[in-house]
Structure 1
Amino acid sequence: MEPGPETAPREGTGQAPGSGQPGPVRVLLADDQPLLRMGFRLILEGEDDVEVVGEASDGADAVRLARRLEPDVVLMDVRMPVMDGIEATRQIAAGPQGPRIIILTTFDLDEYAFAGLQAGASAFLLKDVAPAELVSAVRLVASGDAVVAPRVTQRLLETYVRGLPAAPEAGSRPVQRDPLLDGLTPREQEVLEAIAEGLSNAEIAHRFFLSEATVKTHVRRILAKLHLRDRVQAVVYAYETGLVVPSQGLDY
Structure 2
Amino acid sequence: MSQPHASAVRVGIVDDHQLFAESLATTLRLERYDARRIVLPPDGGTTAQLVGAITRFHPDVLLLDLDLGRNGDGMRLIEPSVRAGAVVVIITGIGDRATWGECLERGAATVLLKTSSLEEVLATVRNSVRGLPVLSEDERASLIRQRQLRLHDQQVLNERLGRLTAREREILGHLLKGRTVYDIAMHGTVSEATVRTQVRSILAKLEVSSQIAAVGLAHQVGWSGPETETRTSGHQF
TM-score where L is the length of structure 1: 0.49
Q: Report the counterpart of residue 196 of structure 1 in structure 2.
A: none
Q: Does 1:70 align with 2:53?
A: no
Q: Distance between the aligned counterparts of 2:146 and 2:102, measured in 1? A: 16
Structure number with higher helix proportion: 2
1:108-166, Cα deviation, whole Å (9 max, x unpaired): 43442122111111111111111111111111112222124x5xx8556324336769x
Q: Does 1:143 align with 2:130?
A: yes
Q: Does 1:99 align with 2:80?
A: no
Q: 1:158 to 1:143 in 2, by over 3 A?
A: same
Q: 1:46 to 1:20 in 2, by over 3 A?
A: closer
Q: State the identity %.
A: 22
Q: Report the counterpart of residue 160 of structure 1 in structure 2.
A: 144
Q: Report the counterpart of residue 99 of structure 2 in structure 1.
A: 112
Paired letter, 1:73: V
- Tell me the CA shift for residue 57 of structure 1: 3.4
Q: Report the counterpart of residue 52 of structure 1 in structure 2.
A: 35
Q: CA RMSD in A?
A: 2.9
**Local SS of the residue matching 2:124:** helix
Paired letter, 2:131: G
Q: Distance between the aligned counterparts of 1:130 and 1:22, measured in 2? A: 20
Q: Distance between the aligned counterparts of 2:81 and 2:105, measured in 1? A: 13
How do 1:209-248 and structure 2 match up within 5 A? none
User: Does the CA contact (< 8 Å) of 1:25 and 1:139 recur in 2?
Assistant: no
Q: Distance between the aligned counterparts of 2:107 and 2:25, measured in 1? A: 23
Q: 1:78 to 1:163 in 2, by over 3 A?
A: closer
1:43-76, Cα deviation, whole Å (9 max, x unpaired): 211112x121442336745411322111100000
Q: Distance between the aligned counterparts of 1:75 and 1:45, measured in 2? A: 14
1:178-222, Cα deviation, whole Å (9 max, x unpaired): xxxxxxxxxxxxxxxxxxxxxxxxxxxxxxxxxxxxxxxxxxxxx
Q: Report the counterpart of residue 37 of structure 1 in structure 2.
A: 21
Gaps of 5+ in 1: 1-16, 166-252
User: Does the CA contact (< 8 Å) of 2:67 and 2:92 recur in 1?
Assistant: no
Paired letter, 2:12: L
Q: Distance between the aligned counterparts of 1:126 and 1:159, measured in 2? A: 14
Q: Report the counterpart of residue 85 of structure 1 in structure 2.
A: 74
Q: 1:162 to 1:90 in 2, by over 3 A?
A: closer
Gaps of 5+ in 2: 150-237
User: Does the CA contact (< 8 Å) of 1:77 and 1:103 recur in 2?
Assistant: yes
Q: Distance between the aligned counterparts of 2:5 and 2:120, measured in 1? A: 24
User: Does the CA contact (< 8 Å) of 2:22 and 2:36 recur in 1?
Assistant: no
> Number of residues paired by the alignment?
143
Look at both structures and tell me which one has the larger radius of gyration over its CA atoms. 2
1:218-252, Cα deviation, whole Å (9 max, x unpaired): xxxxxxxxxxxxxxxxxxxxxxxxxxxxxxxxxxx
Q: Distance between the aligned counterparts of 1:83 and 1:107, measured in 2? A: 14
Q: Distance between the aligned counterparts of 1:55 and 1:47, measured in 2? A: 19
Q: 1:54 to 1:37 in 2, by over 3 A?
A: closer
